[in-house]
């Protein structure tokens, strides 16, 4: 099976400048690694389009778009109203953010339309962006934009978002908090120990959407075995009961044990396991339709390998994964603590899901 890799060189402008942990050279290093390690039969590069205003407005508002694009043309508005200090506006970055949104739109559309059963959006996963506020290196929330687009343009009724980024997806969570059409399952490092400090197990959605937000706060150091337990005890049974029409997984390499901004414990094999579980459940429930949005990662040496490991699991690519760092890790580190968290999550949600009773 050929997986689509949706990518344009234009996103190298998504760059917060020297000294910032998020630079624009990350994307090209991944594409170079794909060409080194894979054959033309394994993947197909697909050129994305830019998101238009109507698509951005599915999630954001006009004032926010005008600020981002007006400011790049020299019109002054106070930036603290729209962006957190960790997400400074740079020349060209609003245009690149629009391209990232278009990349995820393209990836989800080609899969829904049946041109590919799997796709990777290179640069996607900007899950901290809110309706009128950019933060955590995220400007336009491409995850939410592409899901809303599937709902509005293609009339999907059930979309599953699996957020495996190390940080809680606070923007995505807020945007779908009351929406039962979107099951949002978020695995992240315990919010008491990491930005953005949200995503507790008792946050389960509100109104019509109560029960459709599933936060799994993982203890620092959570190993491959801990993640696998969560995938088997939370992701798979919930997906089977929800019956999604498509699965969208977002998150890059930042849960890796050597990441420089986080404290989780995944290895490359753990990333591959996540991709493979998504693929297996998508095959079982929704004709294989699954899309990966990959953008994060704060260890430059790990980043392209982490993304490749996720993709190799999703696409079933039989390639050797070699850790760029040698480190002795306890294979089931934090499994017991993770079991306690999972039990709590299941208890909190048992009124909404038969599989947790």
Instruction: Give catalytic residues, as residue numbers.
Output: 128
Of 146 and 250, nearer to Zn ion (C-beta) is 250
Closest CA to 143 of 156, 154, 159, 158: 159
State the nearest-atom distance from the C-beta of 181 to Zn ion, in Å. Answer: 25
State the nearest-atom distance from the C-beta of 270 to Zn ion, in Å. Answer: 16
What angle in degrees, to the nearest 10, is found between the helix axes of 26-37 and 303-315?
50
Closest CA to 129 of 65, 205, 74, 37: 65
Q: What is the DSSP string of 205-272?
A: --GGGTTSEEEEEEPTT--HHHHHHHIIIIIHHHHHHH--SEEEEE--STTBTT-SS----B-HHHHH
State the nearest-atom distance from the C-beta of 39 to Zn ion, in Å. Answer: 31
Of 108 and 296, nearer to Zn ion (C-beta) is 296
Burial category of 112 from C-beta neighbours within 10 Å (exposed 0-12, middle 13-18, buried 19 and up): buried
State the nearest-atom distance from the C-beta of 262 to Zn ion, in Å. Answer: 7
Residue, CB closest to Zn ion: 167
Residue 220 phi/psi, 5° resolution? -50, 140
CA distance 352 to 139: 33
Closest CA to 162 of 134, 145, 143: 143
**Could you give the 3-state DSSP secondary structure of residue 167?**
coil
Of 3 and 166, nearer to Zn ion (C-beta) is 166
Residue 165 phi/psi, 5° resolution? -60, 150
Of 122 and 150, nearer to Zn ion (C-beta) is 122
State the nearest-atom distance from the C-beta of 256 to Zn ion, in Å. Answer: 11
CA distance 100 to 122: 8
In the complex, which residues of this chain contact Zn ion (CB under 5 A)?
A: 165-167, 254, 296
Residue 333 has which token pair?
A: 């580190």
Q: Are 115 and 162 in contact (CB under 8 A)?
A: no
Of 166 and 294, nearer to Zn ion (C-beta) is 166
Of 111 and 166, nearer to Zn ion (C-beta) is 166
State the nearest-atom distance from the C-beta of 268 to Zn ion, in Å. Answer: 17
């Amino acid at each position: 099976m050929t997986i689509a890799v949706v990518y344009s060189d234009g996103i190298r402008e998504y760059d917060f400048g020297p000294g910032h942990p998020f630079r624009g050279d990350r994307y090209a290093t991944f594409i170079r690694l794909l060409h080194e390690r894979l054959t033309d039969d394994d993947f197909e590069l697909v050129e994305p389009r830019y998101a238009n205003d109507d698509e951005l407005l599915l999630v954001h508002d006009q004032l926010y778009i005008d600020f981002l694009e007006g400011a790049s043309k020299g019109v002054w508005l106070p930036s603290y109203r729209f962006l957190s200090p960790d997400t400074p506006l740079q020349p060209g970055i609003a245009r690149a953010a629009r391209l990232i949104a278009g990349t995820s739109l393209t990836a989800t559309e080609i899969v829904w339309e049946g041109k590919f059963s799997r796709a990777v959006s290179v640069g996607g996963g900007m899950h901290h962006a809110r309706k009128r506020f950019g933060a955590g290196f995220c400007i336009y929330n491409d995850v939410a934009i592409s899901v809303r687009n599937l709902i509005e343009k293609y009339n999907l009724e059930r979309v599953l978002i699996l957020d495996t980024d190390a940080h809680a997806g606070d923007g995505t969570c807020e945007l779908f908090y009351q929406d039962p059409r979107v099951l949002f399952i978020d695995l992240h490092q315990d919010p008491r120990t990491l930005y953005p400090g949200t995503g507790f197990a008792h946050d389960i959605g509100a109104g019509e959407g109560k029960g459709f937000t599933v936060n799994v706060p993982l203890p620092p150091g959570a190993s491959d075995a801990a993640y696998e337990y969560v995938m088997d005890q939370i992701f798979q049974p919930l997906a089977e009961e929800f019956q999604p029409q498509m699965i969208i997984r977002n998150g890059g390499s930042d849960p890796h044990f050597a990441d420089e901004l986080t404290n989780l414990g995944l290895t490359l094999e753990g990333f591959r396991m996540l991709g493979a579980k998504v693929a297996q459940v998508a095959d079982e429930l929704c004709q294989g339709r699954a899309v990966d949005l990959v953008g994060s990662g704060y260890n430059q040496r790990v980043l392209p390998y982490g993304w490749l490991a996720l993709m190799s699991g999703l696409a079933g690519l039989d390639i050797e994964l070699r850790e760029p760092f040698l480190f002795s890790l306890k294979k089931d580190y934090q499994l017991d603590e993770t079991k306690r968290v999972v039990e709590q999550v299941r208890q909190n949600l048992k009124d909404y899901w038969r599989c947790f009773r």
